[in-house]
Structure 1
Amino acid sequence: MAQAEAFEFGVEQGQMLQVLMRHCQTMKRQETRLRVATALLLATLLATFVWIQQLNTKEAFSGARPEALKTTDSPRSHSVHLEPLRQMDPCSEQQPIEWLEVSDGYNSENFKLENRTVLHVSSKGLYIINLRISYRTAYNLCEPDTVSTLVVNVTQHHRNYPRERELVSATETMICRDCLSQSITVNRAVGLEAGTILRVRINQNSCKFVNWVKNSHLDVTFL
């Protein structure tokens, strides 16, 4: 009798275990299906959102006037381009370089060149100064293999300043050799007051080496 009851109990446990396994398998299948359905739903919602955005963009462009779709050009910067007028004669420490304004399509309304040596700035703001002075040695200009010092200064003066101030300065050395070319290039962003005047000077000893007719210029741009 006890063996029969134990056998029946074992059968019942086996049946219950099978039912539990089938239930777990069913739950796993349902969970997988739920995940797939959720992913499909999210993908559908995302695709719908993208489609609506594209549709709104097309409608916005189709309703806009042709001139409104054109890219608006940024305001043209005011710039001045100066080139040396002639050789400084005599070379003097106190005499600034004389310049000639070259248009080249520049909008230079913000600048005025006075006495060929003084550049007036009419607006307060940020400016880019681009200066290049080219040098060239030639026969009998200097003793071979001697070293010369090249100095370039850009100064500013304003009614609020008690004296002229150095704005940009550069110093280099050059060895004296026949037909040797060299240049000093300075680029700097500076803040200037309205009514500021600018001058460019070089040291007296380097004046004879300046290549006045080629690759020397002063560009000032108002941003």
Structure 2
Amino acid sequence: MQHCRATRRHEPGLRRATGFLILMLWLQASLRVTQASVIHQQPNDIQAGDQQSVQPSKNVRRAWEIAHLLTAIGNNGKVAPLQKDGIYIWRLYHTRGNFKLEDNSTTLVVPKNGLYLVNLKMYYYIPNDPMCNQTLFLKTKIEQYSSAYPVWIEVMKGGDTMQCVQDWHQSVTLSQVVRFEKGTMLRVVINEKNHHFIVGDASTYLSVTRL
């Protein structure tokens, strides 16, 4: 009898302890679910914040400041004749920024101070009727004129030899990073004797890009 009474006295305490334990386990499980939910949401929140704060760098914006020139074509569909002293004539094919083509389309005006990547390619071809009888020297140069140097001076120059042979292809390519002042004028000069062999499509071009 005494044993049964003792057991009955302990039963309410056991029930309360068991109930408290179950309550604690439920709260702990709920807390874990809540933490897991928060952890799962954080990467998306961070990624969205980064996407909203991303801005194009200055270099990316500047890269849009470009002038791409192709050979000027005359009314007869052929390459436009050179100006005096072998100065080449261009046409603006693509431009972004305030580049200007002046002086009868021979001079490109730089819009701002800064570094520019200058790329020039002059492409030549000897047709069926060569119109030449000896090896050609493809002398090519880019000149500049600015307030700091109020005379035309060479910025880049180069050249190559070309055999006077039917269907012969040859090109001269110049590429360099140069610092220009705002308003600097650029022009291309080639040997007048070689003008007849210029290929006037997109393979001959002048490209100036602000870095």
Offset from partner CA, 1:91-116 (integer Å, 9 cap, x none): 5652421111112xx52x13111131
Q: Note if 1:154 corresponds to 2:136.
A: no
Letter aligned with residue 167 of structure 1: V
Q: Note if 1:168 corresponds to 2:156.
A: yes
Q: Equivalent residue for 1:134? A: 123
Q: Structure 1 residues 64, 111: CA separation in 2 closer, same or farther (over 3 Å shift)?
A: same
CA distance in 2, matches of 1:178, 1:214: 22
Instruction: Compute the TM-score of the two structures, normalised by the length of structure 1.
Output: 0.65
CA distance in 1, matches of 2:135, 2:120: 23
Q: Equivalent residue for 1:22? A: none
The Cα of 1:72 is off from its aligned counterpart by: 3.3
Q: Does the aligned pair in 1 maintain the 2:83–2:89 contact within 8 Å? A: no
Q: Does the aligned pair in 2 maintain the 1:92–1:204 contact within 8 Å? A: no
- The more displaced of 207-216 and 155-164 is 207-216
Letter aligned with residue 71 of structure 2: P
Letter aligned with residue 89 of structure 2: E
The Cα of 1:127 is off from its aligned counterpart by: 0.3
Q: Equivalent residue for 2:91? A: 100
Q: Note if 1:72 corresponds to 2:55.
A: yes
Instruction: Compute the TM-score of the two structures, normalised by the length of structure 2.
Output: 0.68
CA distance in 1, matches of 2:202, 2:162: 18
- Structure 1 counterpart of 2:200, from 212, 215, 218: 212
User: Of the two, which has the highest radius of gyration?
Assistant: 1
The Cα of 1:64 is off from its aligned counterpart by: 3.9
The Cα of 1:66 is off from its aligned counterpart by: 2.0
Name stretches of at least 5 consecutive residues in structure 1 with no aligned partner. Answer: 1-54
The Cα of 1:205 is off from its aligned counterpart by: 1.8
CA distance in 1, matches of 2:184, 2:139: 23
Aligned pairs (5 A) from 1:22-101: 59=42, 61-64=43-46, 66=48, 68-69=50-51, 71-74=54-57, 75-76=60-61, 77=63, 78-86=65-73, 87-89=79-81, 91=82, 94-101=85-92
Q: Does the aligned pair in 1 maintain the 2:125–2:198 contact within 8 Å? A: yes
- How many pairs are equivalent? 161
The Cα of 1:131 is off from its aligned counterpart by: 0.6
Letter aligned with residue 189 of structure 2: R
Identity %: 29
Q: Note if 1:116 corresponds to 2:105.
A: yes
SS at match of 2:162: strand
Task: Give the alignment's Cα RMSD to 1 decimal.
Answer: 2.3
Offset from partner CA, 1:55-96 (integer Å, 9 cap, x none): 99x85x55547253355333331111100013243x565242
SS at match of 2:189: strand
Q: Equivalent residue for 2:178? A: 190
Q: Does the aligned pair in 2 maintain the 1:147–1:173 contact within 8 Å? A: yes
